[in-house]
A and B are shown apart, each in its own frame.
Chain A
Amino acid sequence: MTAEPNRIVFTDVSKFYGEVLGVNKINLKIGPGITSLVGPNGSGKTTLMNLMTGLIRPTRGEIEVLGTRTDAPETFYSMVGYCTQFDTFPKGVTGFGLIYSVLRLHGRTRREAEEQAWQAIEQVHMTDAAHRRVAAYSKGMRQRIKLALAVAHHPTVLVLDEPLNGLDPMARAESIALFEKLAEEGLFVIISSHILHEVDLMSDCVVMMSNGYVVAEGDIQEVREEMSEHPIGIRVRCDRPALLASRAFSENHVVEVRIEDDGAGVLLRSRSVDQLYALVNRVVLEEALKIEGVTPVDEDVHSVYSYLIGSNGAGRL
């Protein structure tokens, strides 16, 4: 494997727990910015993250994070921060005490550890509760303190397993803003989530997983284009949706037409996006249709995810 100092590289990585498949034959290169891992429970997202952060070792294959192997803890964990999904903490610790101790373990002096611990705690707005025991925190507060712990030592690679779980809408928005800020600063931010519209909002790149396999990767548009045979849909809000629907039915490339419940719009799906937009233009000109808006309905992660993985979690590619 060639060392790539600017990429997280998985080369033919598999992980089995006994006879149970964790992930299989993963070949992946992740660059800077925000990369989201998307997949249902059991799809292998956490396994992939644990492999990436060296908490488990691959049964087969190799992983390098910015040219460093995961089995060199002294250098590796200086540049990696991991907000795990595990909602467990050592007994009796306070939020500040935990972050301070971990920073001391990172080799920081007492003063550096204190300063950096407070910086991280302020970033997640936990200053007031910092000296309270973690056991008394709410789910959202525990989530935020885990996030503070992951960013406290200023890592280059930040791995976040379901970081938005348990956060209220305000905290979610703040966390997403923080991830975006960190990504803009050049960090590699890898996030797993099943809240797809949030993934959609913040991701530069998505990796879709199902049953231990990567079923698609790239930016959302690229992934969408990979599936050229998959019909694309648009929603047209107009004054006479029934007319547009009847014209669309006569076209061979159109595979689905549905009047919306409020009767003020129509959903059209076609195998040819160009022909679909041409049809809408033609009807508008010929029938003097009044258009309120035309929006793509399936260029977000959710529709791509639904198509690729299917409702029962079985991969379709």
Chain B
Amino acid sequence: MSIEQIGVVAGFEMRKFRAGRKWFFPLLLAAAPVSLVSLLLLFDPHPPSNSDITRVFAVMFQTFMLRLMILFGCALVFANLYQGDMVTRTIHFYLLAPVRREVLVAGKYLAGLLITSVLYGASVGIPNILIHSANGQAVAEAHFFGGPGMRELLTYVGIALLACVGYGSVFMLTGFLFKNPAVPAAFVLVWESANVFLPSALQKISVVHYLQSIVPVPIPIGPFAVITAPASVFGSVTGLALFTVAVLIVNGLLMRKAEINYVSD
């Protein structure tokens, strides 16, 4: 598999993403937490204590960022990588190239991963820094450089990137299987949200299970507060990596059998 050809595909996909205005809704989602935290800072004259802020962010991360923003953002970006080309009748430019189909899958996946990682990594990191700055610079410095803040920040961003890795592979697969990405996105949303109510064996067949196990600050109350048989950091990363590789292999097999289906004559 040629690394250079993967890079060519990834570069081409990113140019298409930018030029095709496909960035609008993923960016809108990514901007939501930053905007929300900025509004809180602007209009709340009495911000809560730093420990409360940490818990507020933990809830925001697990409920909105992880289960909605990143999930739907990945659905918008990754599901379009294949289906978008079919809709715009441009997949043949790739299919006529003398490269293994797996190279195309890897290049497209890499492009999606770079796009979503930048968007949602920043979308998790920036609000975390902003919200912990609500009580002034001295408190923020103490939190990030004298306390657990930096480790938490890096862990949250890392989890966001892992989420892009896992959800990306899932939604790239659904892009092959479904014409309308909203249907699988809704199914995955329900599956990932209902995950906490499932038996522990079934919980492992989800992306969020591995990510929830390694969040730095657990949610104090609510269904997402309880994690059955949480995985270790190593177990989470390995489990997610294996899951992603397995899904990408299926993607590759589907791509091998890909045909254009926009024949007119």
Contact = CB atoms under 8 A, between A and B. Distances in A.
Given A22-B263, A44-B265, A88-B88, A105 B16 contact: no
A91 B98 contact: no
A74 interface: yes
B260 A82 contact: no
Given A57-B259, A73-B99, A77-B96, A85 B8 contact: no
A46 B264 contact: yes
A106 B98 contact: yes
Nearest to B12: A101
A86 B101 contact: no
Given A45-B265, A77-B98, A105-B5, A92 B90 contact: no
B262 interface: yes
Contacts of A84: 92
A112 to B, nearest CB: 13
Interface in B214-265: 257, 259-260, 262-265
Contacts of A106: 97-98
A105 B260 CA distance: 19
Nearest to A159: B96
A55 B16 contact: no
Interface residues of A, number: 39
Residue among A54, A56, A73 with the highest chain B CB neighbour number at 10 A: A73
Contact of B263 (A47, A90, A91): A47
B262 A86 contact: yes
Contact of A92 (B8, B16, B94): B16
Nearest to A43: B265
B89 interface: yes
A46 B265 contact: yes
Nearest to A56: B259
Determine the main DSSP class of B at the interface with A. Answer: loop
Residue among A54, A55, A75, A76 with the highest chain B CB neighbour number at 10 A: A55
B15 interface: yes
Contacts of B55: none
A85 B264 contact: yes
B157 interface: no
Interface in A25-50: 41-47, 50
A86 B97 contact: no
Interface in B1-21: 2, 4-5, 8-9, 11-12, 15-16, 18-21
B26 to A, nearest CB: 16
Given A93-B15, A107-B2, A47 B265 contact: yes
A230 interface: no
Contacts of B43: none
Contacts of A73: 95, 97-101
A89 B90 contact: yes
Given A17-B263, A46-B265, A47-B265, A53 B88 contact: no
A235 B188 CA distance: 73
A104 B8 contact: yes
Residue among A75, A78, A82, A88 with the highest chain B CB neighbour number at 10 A: A88
Contacts of B99: 73-74, 77, 105, 107
Interface in A54-110: 54-57, 73-78, 80, 82, 84-86, 88-93, 98, 101-102, 104-107
Interface in B77-100: 88-90, 92-100
5 contacts: A53-B96, A55-B95, A57-B257, A90-B93, A105-B12
Interface of A: 17, 22, 41-47, 50, 53-57, 73-78, 80, 82, 84-86, 88-93, 98, 101-102, 104-107
Interface of B: 2, 4-5, 8-9, 11-12, 15-16, 18-21, 88-90, 92-101, 257, 259-260, 262-265
Given A88-B88, A107-B99, 6 more contacts: A22-B263, A56-B259, A88-B90, A93-B16, A101-B11, A106-B98
